[in-house]
Amino acid sequence: MIKTYATLGPRCCHSQLLQAMLRLGLTGFRLNLSHRTLQDCTEWTAALQAAGRAAGVQPELIIDLRGGELRLGQLDAPIPLQAGQTLTFGEGGLPLDDDILAALQAGQTVLLDDSAIELTVESRTERAAVCRCIRGGLVEGRKSITLPGVEIPRPAVCTEDRADLAIARRHGVTAVMQPFVRSRDDLLQVRQALAEHGLDDLTVFAKVEDREGVDSLPQWIDLCDTVTIARGDLGSNLTLYELPRAQKEIAAVCRRANKDFLVVTHLLQSMIHAPVPTRAEVTDIYNACLDGAASLMLTGETAQGNYGLEAVSFLLEMARRGEADRNA
């Protein structure tokens, strides 16, 4: 049976709504720790555990680790940005890690929040880079930042990840999701960190998010339990034109290796603001099922959306129909 997950967030973190989602048949939830620590999410995980008890099920809980992903620093408030305006990173501007700032050279494309916002670096000094906005939007703290064509080496498991793993058991965590997997060493580091915290039994989801991850997949696929086709950063790094082919390529590799894969990002994106999905979205979910997806995951639809329960209902129904036709 295809597993279905939703993302915990401020719009769905109370027990009554979580209970309703679980009663519909949702497998479990994902917690994105790029924006907060696991300790910060104590109320959310407690609400999920309470909802599970009330619904008579044991929901899975996946924590999405930070790993080597690239993100903006924290902002006091969101910043509206329009095409043609400039934005400064570093000294006198938005906070950015030193290694990311160093990679911002003139002419470099900068994509924010899964490519929702596009910038181009116009100039830089030793401590700052000035960018021109090509495609605007609302710049929010801790959102993803992608530099197409640039690789910034980082450890697979960071200090914050280890702190979260130390308390994972008490929060009911059943799985970890590792971002930007590109090599066997990445997953060996994750497995070692899990062992050090007595979490060897946790399921490991490995996210494919760039071309290097796609190309190296056959070399490390045996070290994870589920391959995650993470279409947010994958679409940013490969461009949207290449994303559909990459998804099909990853799915084919997983089928040949008899390895489960999960499809995530924008499955029902329109339902953040609308009570029903688009035709393209339900077709996308159906095709993912026919391609052999073992699991599907919602993100902003439940974490931030106005119609989280409806989105879960549509996801479950399309998963049932897609799996039935796949097995027919």
**pLDDT over 90 (residue 268):** yes
What local confidence, expressed as pLDDT, does residue 246 receive?
98
Q: Which residue has the tokens 């830089």?
A: 124
Contact 74, 140 (CB under 8 A): no
pTM: 0.88
What local confidence, expressed as pLDDT, does residue 69 receive?
82
**pLDDT over 90 (residue 258):** yes
What local confidence, expressed as pLDDT, does residue 172 receive?
98
Show contacts of 286-289: CB within 8 Å, 24+ apart.
Answer: 286/318, 286/321, 286/322, 286/325, 287/322, 288/263, 288/322, 289/2, 289/318, 289/319, 289/321, 289/322, 289/323, 289/325, 289/326
**pLDDT over 90 (residue 153):** no
Mean pLDDT of 262-281: 98
Q: Which domains does the chain have, with CATH numbers?
A: 3-69+152-327 (3.20.20.60), 79-146 (2.40.33.10)
**pLDDT over 90 (residue 287):** yes
Q: Strand pairing of 109-112 and 145-146?
A: antiparallel
The region of weakest confidence among 124-138, 148-162, 219-233 is 148-162
Percentage of the chain beyond pLDDT 70 is 100
What local confidence, expressed as pLDDT, does residue 85 receive?
97
What local confidence, expressed as pLDDT, does residue 35 receive?
82
Average pLDDT of the chain to the nearest whole number: 96
**pLDDT over 90 (residue 220):** yes
The region of weakest confidence among 35-39, 279-283, 304-308, 319-323 is 35-39
The region of weakest confidence among 57-61, 145-149, 207-211, 299-303 is 145-149
